[in-house]
Structure 1
């Protein structure tokens, strides 16, 4: 099992100990460091800035929102960071949700699967640098010939030769169709709210993608990086209680009530009634009650919490389910060292 440090996206201010976290993760044997974005900080800049002091860890986005940049712009970011890091970049992509895509980026959210397929295809053209990049669209036509076009658009190849033509592309995916698409066209799956209990269902979705004509990978060379809070503690009950407000936020407060991808994941786990209750409480401003309505097992489904023996048993269970990397968030260097000792030693 590998460990990836999830730095996430910034709140009101950048984390003061970001450089220390990154340096400690590399020193303790973490495989990768990831940064995210929402509607504040971006994902690439922290990796370039803090990653400049590293030599070994891979630097990944988890995730870059595809509506934030055109596919050629995203490819430029990726090939630049890959050069600067000496070939250590992982490009993690995700579609986000309609509230962010239409409310923040001002573009339609429709057809996320088709947009993802076209987006990845264009990025791979840029990185291959075999010919001028073109796309028939309909989402990202190149050259653009639609309304307002001058007719002067010209297919281009990147001026800069990519260091690697096969920069790994991982996709953040939650539903069956998106996971199958990920197995078909990507190099890895960024799984959020993964639970080993449902591994047979996930494997069915993945196998559908692997079996498609032209699939890029097989299960043997495909990476599954699952977001998972791992906490070594003797106070299991108290730690679980402290995590419930975050679960309530994502289940009840993220996205629109009628379209919350995180809530859909928990419905597939069998928590439909709880999701309905938590959503109603959270959106009526009763956030403490929403957190209290979440049963302990709903938290521990997607996290590993307990003493050292329980944590190591949990890690083995996730590994046996097919997960190759745990994406963990750490508050300080001491926690990074603790997790490295528990998981990697």
Structure 2
């Protein structure tokens, strides 16, 4: 099982420089992968390409680019460039996105998200594997009157999806290489998510999918204070139906209920529960909410688990 961390920098300094420094620290701690979110700030594939080139020991990934407001031709170019820059260590994550961001930021109706995901993945697979596409769907068209290859990225790019609902899991199992569930605890993974995506992959004749579980986790002695901070910081996700659903399937009511907070023994035991539930990778997010000392302590544990 691969262990990794989401790198998220804040502060007045240069974000790219700060992220590279954090990635170097993560690699020195023994972590195997670094992941970068995509909202409206830094471009995640570019950030991953820079970090992967500066820190050769890390796998790098995007988690995750919404399929609304993007086009497969553009995303393929970004992903293939990152793959060439990192010599095969880049992983592309896609997401359905949310109504709030899609309509509020892009002014695009949030309609038929799973159908759009299917078409996006179909066109993107052609582009990342062959450098060409001839796809015309109901919602998207992707054609290559000129080649879209990137020398150095001939082996393609792993395609992962932040899928947790039944229809998105079915599409991901059929068309992607794995999933990136977030706020899904071991119970939701074992009873709902892993069986659904695995069955879809088997029915489509595809290999067993990767299950890259993103977990809010902190090693700390001040459990009550950190959980209170987590309750405040992660409350935003409770407004989003897909996250609210998976929190409930995990046995929680608040996003903080599925956060892993405690000493090394407690957190290591929870990582094992994720592995036993079917996770092939565990990526820690939110490790910075308790300050640098606890973040470093958390990363040290992850490095030990990786070994």
Q: Is the 8 A contact 2:2 2:281 kept in 1?
A: yes
Q: Are 2:289 and 1:327 aligned?
A: no
**TM-score for the superposition, normalised by structure 1:** 0.78
Q: Which 4+ stretches in 1 moved above 4 angstroms? A: 8-16
| Residue equivalent to 2:3 | 3
2: CA distance between counterparts of 1:160 and 1:248? 41
Aligned twin of 2:242? 261
Residue in 2 that maps onto 1:249: 236
- Of 145, 156, 172, the residue aligned with 1:155 is 145
Shift of 1:207: 3.3
The equivalent residue for 2:203 is 212
What corresponds to 1:305 in structure 2? Answer: 261
Deviation at 1:81, TM superposition (A): 0.8
Distance in 2 of aligned mates of 1:159 and 1:3: 31
Instruction: Map residues 43-192 of structure 1 onto 2, 5 A cutoff.
Output: 43-129=44-130, 132-143=132-143, 155-161=145-151, 163-192=153-182
Q: Which runs of 5+ in 1 are unaligned?
A: 144-153, 275-293
Residue 291 (structure 1) aligns with: none
1:19-38 superposed matches below 5 A:
19-38=20-39
Give the conservation status (yes or no) of the 8 Å contact 2:49–2:90: no
**Structure 1 position 340 matched with structure 2 position 302:** yes
Spell out the pairing of 1:190-229 with structure 2 (5 A cutoff): 190-198=180-188, 199-213=190-204, 215-218=205-208, 222-229=209-216
Bigger mean CA offset, 70-79 vs 4-13: 4-13
**Shift in Å at residue 269 of structure 1?**
4.1
CA shift, 1:86, in A, is 0.9
Does residue 212 of structure 2 align to residue 231 of structure 1?
Answer: no
Runs of 5+ unmatched residues, structure 2: none
Provide the rounded CA distance (Å) in 2 between the counterparts of 1:341 and 1:141.
44
Q: CA deviation at 1:261?
A: 2.4
Superposed CA RMSD: 2.6
CA drift of 1:58 comes to 1.1
Contact map agreement 1:169 1:186 (CA 8 A) in 2: yes
Partner Cα separation in structure 1 for residue 284 and residue 25 of structure 2: 14
Length, aligned pairs only: 299
Q: 1:37 to 1:53 in 2, by over 3 A?
A: same
Structure 2 contact 216–260 (Cα < 8 Å) conserved = yes
What's the CA shift for 1:169? 0.5
Is this contact kept in 2: 1:126–1:157, CA < 8 A?
no
For 1:80 and 1:306, the matched residues in 2 are separated by 39
